[in-house]
């Protein structure tokens, strides 16, 4: 008997609106937000830092992919007395400074942006521009702008002025990179982050940092084969890495035709390797699970010799169709990102993968006090339609105990980024807190910030802050409570 035909769903997004959210913000602003709908929670006090590509073209040339855009930090200061100040500043990377003077791209991007002048001008230039555009890490003395292809840039957390590239007191020697996905030990507050030295075999460096972002411990492991790893999951004793089955065919990159990330080749017949690295050093253990591609992990824990990892996985590397400008890409045809639970028996190696949600989701997080433990709630951005791949337009809270979801969609006019969970201090409920999510409002043609009660996502935003400009869709951020 034939399978029932999938139910058609009404599509509540359109390409022109969605793409308008990729508009560079060339000005650097500083103002008190005067367009606020709803009620600002009185106990939301502190600064939301967000990072993402701010500049998507130079000298009339567009980036090939938004992930190649120069990093721009946005800061929302919640004073606690009903006012919110907005600022945005570019990270003054070496590349940003030089290209601002020249008025054109001088360096290649990892995702395919080439220097003007065709392949001859790009061949054998293997120095990608550090764009510091992916995430932030905070300490009172410095805010780091993170990008996994290079070293972090330090900024003044108050003024957002760039201090300079930062090798973390010499811990990042030579070509060492520092990834953009730190995780925090719930017991000590320590930050754990990693860096990959790619090659025929790859080195994973694991760093532990204190509250001043000084490196207090550092360990390294070799993993066989090429590794492109964006994120990891932290348990009490381990750092868990998924080495997705990709290889690289570097020729088009070397010869100046493609960016490095456009040369990744997904290997559907090879397993995903799961590496368990003891956080304080020692022998790593490697397991296998089904072939898939993971950018972001939700959380992980180990109980009774079973490792459980919740992750957002794609059936294949969401390949960017090499050579295709991002504005031409048909998102409906790219593999969707879905929520999965991986379980691995650490004694037998038996692994299982279960899909928890059909809907396309990305940018997951949990309560910081549940990192490394079983969590009840996971928060993430979602597509409007319950099936298929589409731009992110809403926020979703997933209850792992019941499988229930709570959702809110800004469709048809709204397009969103990562929801940042801000826990209510001292609360016992795991979902007590706020979710802060940037929204591009295609009707107004400007971006803003929506604030949800995380316990009542379906009730819609408590408040919406409207900015004066479009802030291009961003990547990750962090809230620093006052």
Please enumerate in sequence order all residues whose Cβ is within 8 A of that of 322, keeping only pairs 6 or more positions apart, or say none: 112, 252, 258, 262, 263
Residues 168-197 that bind ligand 3ON (CB under 6 A): 177, 196
Least Cβ distance, residue 24 to ligand 3ON (angstroms) = 15
65 is an annotated ligand-binding site residue? no
Please enumerate in sequence order all residues whose Cβ is within 8 A of that of 36, keeping only pairs 6 or more positions apart, or say none: 84, 463, 464, 465, 466
Query: CA dihedral defined by 31, 32, 35, 38, rounded to 10 degrees?
Result: 150
476 is an annotated ligand-binding site residue? yes
Least Cβ distance, residue 148 to ligand 3ON (angstroms) = 5
Least Cβ distance, residue 401 to ligand 3ON (angstroms) = 26
Least Cβ distance, residue 292 to ligand 3ON (angstroms) = 13
Least Cβ distance, residue 232 to ligand 3ON (angstroms) = 14
Say whether 95 sits in a helix, a strand or coil: helix
Residues 84-113 that bind ligand 3ON (CB under 6 A): 110
Query: Which secondary-structure segment (H or E) carries 74?
Result: strand 70-78
Residues 387-416 that bind ligand 3ON (CB under 6 A): 392
Candidate list 86, 221, 473, 479; residue touching ligand 3ON; CB under 6 A: 473
225 binds ligand 3ON (CB under 6 A): no
Number of residues that bind ligand 3ON (CB under 6 A): 19
Closest CA to 329 of 62, 135, 95: 62
x/- track of binding to ligand 3ON for residues 233-262 (CB under 6 A): ---------------------------xx-
Partnered with residue 205 across adjacent β-strands are: 195, 220
Say whether 283 sits in a helix, a strand or coil: coil
Partnered with residue 438 across adjacent β-strands are: 449
Nearest residue (beta carbon) to ligand 3ON: 149
Least Cβ distance, residue 260 to ligand 3ON (angstroms) = 5
By CB atoms closer than 10 A (0-12, 13-18, 19+), residue 402 is exposed
Candidate list 228, 287, 326, 410; residue touching ligand 3ON; CB under 6 A: 228
364 binds ligand 3ON (CB under 6 A): no
| Residue for token pair 């308008």 | 20
Region of residue 280 (phi > 0: left; psi between -120 and 50: alpha; otherwise: beta)? alpha
Candidate list 21, 54, 112, 149; residue touching ligand 3ON; CB under 6 A: 149
**How do beta strands 201-209 and 191-197 pair?**
antiparallel
**Binding span for ligand 3ON by CB under 6 A among 145-153, 272-280, 393-401, 457-465:** 145-153
CB 419 within 8 A of CB 409: no
Residues 251-310 that bind ligand 3ON (CB under 6 A): 260-261, 295
- Separate counts of helices (H) and strands (E) for the chain: 4, 34
181 is an annotated ligand-binding site residue? yes
Smaller CB separation from ligand 3ON, 133 or 235? 133
CB 393 within 8 A of CB 415: yes
198 binds ligand 3ON (CB under 6 A): yes
What token pair was written down for 186? 């719930």
Candidate list 18, 49, 67, 184; residue touching ligand 3ON; CB under 6 A: 67
199-226 b/e with 16+ CB inside 10 Å = b? eeebebbbbbbeeebebeebbebebebb
Least Cβ distance, residue 347 to ligand 3ON (angstroms) = 33
Least Cβ distance, residue 473 to ligand 3ON (angstroms) = 5
Candidate list 192, 457, 471, 475; residue touching ligand 3ON; CB under 6 A: 475
Candidate list 262, 310, 362, 384; residue touching ligand 3ON; CB under 6 A: 362
Partnered with residue 144 across adjacent β-strands are: 137, 154
Smaller CB separation from ligand 3ON, 110 or 435? 110
Cβ atoms within 10 Å of 443's Cβ, excluding its own: 9
**How do beta strands 143-146 and 153-155 pair?**
antiparallel
**Binding span for ligand 3ON by CB under 6 A among 11-19, 95-103, 143-151, 302-310:** 143-151
By CB atoms closer than 10 A (0-12, 13-18, 19+), residue 85 is middle
Distances (CA, A) of 476 to 71, 174, 363, 380, 453: 11, 26, 8, 12, 20
401 is an annotated ligand-binding site residue? no
x/- track of binding to ligand 3ON for residues 311-340 (CB under 6 A): ------------------------------
Smaller CB separation from ligand 3ON, 138 or 473? 473
Binding-site annotation: residue ranges for Fe cation: 181, 230, 296, 476
Binding-site annotation: residue ranges: 181, 230, 296, 476
Q: Which residues bind ligand 3ON (CB under 6 A)?
A: 67, 110, 133-134, 147-149, 177, 196, 198, 228, 230, 260-261, 295, 362, 392, 473, 475
């Amino acid at each position: 008997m034939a399978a029932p035909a999938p139910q058609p769903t009404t599509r509540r997004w359109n390409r022109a609106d969605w793409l308008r959210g990729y508009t560079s913000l060339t000005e650097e602003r500083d103002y008190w937000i005067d367009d606020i709908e709803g009620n600002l929670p009185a106990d939301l006090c502190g600064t939301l830092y967000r990072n993402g590509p701010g500049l998507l073209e130079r000298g009339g040339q567009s980036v090939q992919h938004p992930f190649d855009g120069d990093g721009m930090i946005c800061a929302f200061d919640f004073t606690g007395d009903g006012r919110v100040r907005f600022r945005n500043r570019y990270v003054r990377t070496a590349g940003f400074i030089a290209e601002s003077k020249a008025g054109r791209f001088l360096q290649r991007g990892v995702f395919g942006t080439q220097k003007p002048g065709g392949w001859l001008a790009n061949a054998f230039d293997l120095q990608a521009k550090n764009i510091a555009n992916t995430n932030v890490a905070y300490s009172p003395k410095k805010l780091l702008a993170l990008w996994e292809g290079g070293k972090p840039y330090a900024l003044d957390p108050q003024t957002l002025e760039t201090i300079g590239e930062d090798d973390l007191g010499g811990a990042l020697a030579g070509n060492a990179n520092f990834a953009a996905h730190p995780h925090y030990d719930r017991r000590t507050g320590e930050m754990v982050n990693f860096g990959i030295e790619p090659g025929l075999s790859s080195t994973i460096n694991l760093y532990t940092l204190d509250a001043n972002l000084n490196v207090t411990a550092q360990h390294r492991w070799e993993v066989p084969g090429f590794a492109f790893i964006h994120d990891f999951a932290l348990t009490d004793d381990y750092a868990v890495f998924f080495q997705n089955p990709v290889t690289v065919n570097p020729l088009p990159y070397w010869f100046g035709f493609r960016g490095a990330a456009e040369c990744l080749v997904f290997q559907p017949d090879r397993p995903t390797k799961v590496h368990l690295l003891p956080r304080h050093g020692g022998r790593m253990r490697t397991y296998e699970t089904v072939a898939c591609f993971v950018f972001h992990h939700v959380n992980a824990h180990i109980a009774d010799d079973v490792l459980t990892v919740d992750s957002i996985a794609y059936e294949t590397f969401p390949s960017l169709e090499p050579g295709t400008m991002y504005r031409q890409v048909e998102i409906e045809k790219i593999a969707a990102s879905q929520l999965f639970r991986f379980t691995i028996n650490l004694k037998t190696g038996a692994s299982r993968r279960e899909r928890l949600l059909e809907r396309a989701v990305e940018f997951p997080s949990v309560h910081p006090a549940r990192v490394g433990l079983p969590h009840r709630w996971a928060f993430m951005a979602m597509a409007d339609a319950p099936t298929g791949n589409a731009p992110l337009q809403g926020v979703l809270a997933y209850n792992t105990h019941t499988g229930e979801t709570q959702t809110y969609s800004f469709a048809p006019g709204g397009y969103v980024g990562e929801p940042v969970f801000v826990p209510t201090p001292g609360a016992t409920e795991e979902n007590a807190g706020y979710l802060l999510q940037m929204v591009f409002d295609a009707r107004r043609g400007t971006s803003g910030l929506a604030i949800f009660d995380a316990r009542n996502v379906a009730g819609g935003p408590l408040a919406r802050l409207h900015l004066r400009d479009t802030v291009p869709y961003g990547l990750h951020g962090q809230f620093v409570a006052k």
